[in-house]
Chain A
Amino acid sequence: MGHTYDFKSIPGYIPKIMKAFPVTIEILLLSLLFSIIIGAIVTVGSLSKNKVCNAISKGYISFMRGIPTLVLIFLLYLGLPQVMNSIGVDMSGVSKVAYIVACLSLSTSANMAEMMRAAYLAVDKGQREAAFSVGMKGFTAFRRIIFPQAFGVAIPTLGNNIIMLFKETSLAFTVGVIDLLGKARAISSASYGTNRLEVYIATGIIFWIICFVLENLSKFIEKQYTRGRKKATS
């Protein structure tokens, strides 16, 4: 039992773990991109007057909000290849990072869709009417009038969603991707687990610092962007 802990060694692990940072960033950026694309499609569905589209979008959002990301990862990573195999498609060529990106995109897209919907609805209806009255067409009105205002409303939530997504990238180790946490596990198992607590604390500190930076960045951008603009909420 006599484990002694050497907390002075924690800072030394940070550069070693940070070697895996590019992988985490790659997963983060790709999932962010795809989750925004999927989220936008779902938002269009949930705002449309078509009842079927509406029901599918709402169902998708509540399904994705109910399933733990870990279960989604297992379902896709372990379950999907089995199903595909039985219908004759070989999925062994798909990289692990691709699975993680797919899972994180799907689970985050529900939050993104909710965010976009709320932001879109927060823009005063009169804005669109005013845009139409000066002769703008539907898409032009959206691009030049609605979107810039909705974006300002969405920045804080977007920042939050990105931070949550960043934290969820830590689940990449569950399929064996060497991201920040995967690297930490590799380092601790290389020394037979004797330094695991220090390594995990070091990883925690890395996540904390990056989240802190992201949070302040989002606040700064919000301030810059909304300066001189009327608050879009009516």
Chain B
Amino acid sequence: MINFKFILESIPSLIGAIPITLLMAFSAAIIGWILGLGIALIRKNKVPVVSQICAVFVSFMRGVPIIILLYIAYYALPIAIYNYGVSIGREIDTSTVPAVIYAIIALVLDQAAYSSEIFRSALSAVDEGQMEACYSVGMTKSQALMRIILPQAMAIALPNLGGLFLGLVKGTSLAYYVGVYEITATANLLAMPALNFIEAYIMTTLIYEILSFIFNKCFRQVENRFKRFRATATA
């Protein structure tokens, strides 16, 4: 039955794998969401050509499972880096680049696409009159965006971003397949020698549940803080 000795012995290694999961999640979220906001602004303002390219990019990223994105990034990027190295006259040894970098890049692109859709709908949910009001008091477009539009759009986008982030934390488990030793991979590695699968995965499940519980709570807090930017229902 359940091997409690194994559980006690493997807890430190599993907890030790949490930082790599969080590293992937946070870096992908921060970089990806900034890119996503950029894409949303480009598509909102209908910048010619760039806007169409962004639309195709978003559609592709949303249509392809994250596991395939990880594989493509894992196999394509070393070639790209190597070729870049050759073009500037240097031989770059791509085997020294840790796999986690490729995983982060794939997750960043995925997050950029999904968050851009969230930001786009949040931006269009902000009342048109707000922008006009900004112009009427003499603000420039960027001032209006930074001070008036974005805080309101953020308040609208936050619940969806929270859901997206929880999905991202779960998605990092797939980085196992490109050789990143995050929580799931560590559990598998620990379980292999004595086939303690059930114990290892029950603990993995617990860790993920605790993580998503904590992040859920955090996002609720932030949402409440942003509530003051929400337009009160004046019809």
Seen from chain A, the residues whose Cβ lies within 8 Å of a Cβ on chain B are: 1, 3, 5, 63, 65-72, 74-75, 78-80, 82-83, 86, 167-168, 170-171, 174, 181, 196-197, 200-201, 203-204, 207-212
Q: Quick one: which of B68, B79, B176, B209 has the most chain A CB within 10 A? A: B68
The answer to whether A79 touches B197 (Cβ under 8 A) is yes
Given known A1-B94, A67-B170, A68-B171, contact A197–B76 (CB-CB < 8 A): yes
Q: Quick one: which of B170, B177, B213 has the most chain A CB within 10 A? A: B170
Q: Which of A74, A201, A204 contacts B188 (CB 8 A)?
A: A74
Closest B residue, CB atoms, query A66: B212
Residues of the A chain whose Cβ atoms lie less than 8 Å from the Cβ of B133: none
Q: A36 CB to closest chain B CB, in angstroms?
A: 21
* Interface range for B: 35 or more
Contacts A68-B174, A196-B71, A204-B72 known; 12 new A-B pairs at CB < 8 A: A1-B82, A3-B79, A63-B209, A66-B211, A71-B184, A74-B188, A167-B65, A167-B66, A168-B65, A207-B68, A210-B63, A211-B63
Residues of the A chain whose Cβ atoms lie less than 8 Å from the Cβ of B176: 70
10 chain-A/chain-B pairs, Cβ below 8 angstroms: A67-B208, A68-B208, A70-B173, A83-B198, A181-B68, A196-B75, A197-B79, A208-B59, A208-B60, A212-B59
The answer to whether B63 touches A207 (Cβ under 8 A) is yes
Residues of the A chain whose Cβ atoms lie less than 8 Å from the Cβ of B170: 66-69
* CB contacts between A and B, total, < 8 Å: 107
Residues of the A chain whose Cβ atoms lie less than 8 Å from the Cβ of B191: 78
Q: Which of B65, B187, B213 contacts A170 (CB 8 A)?
A: B65
The answer to whether B63 touches A71 (Cβ under 8 A) is no
Residues of the B chain whose Cβ atoms lie less than 8 Å from the Cβ of A168: 65
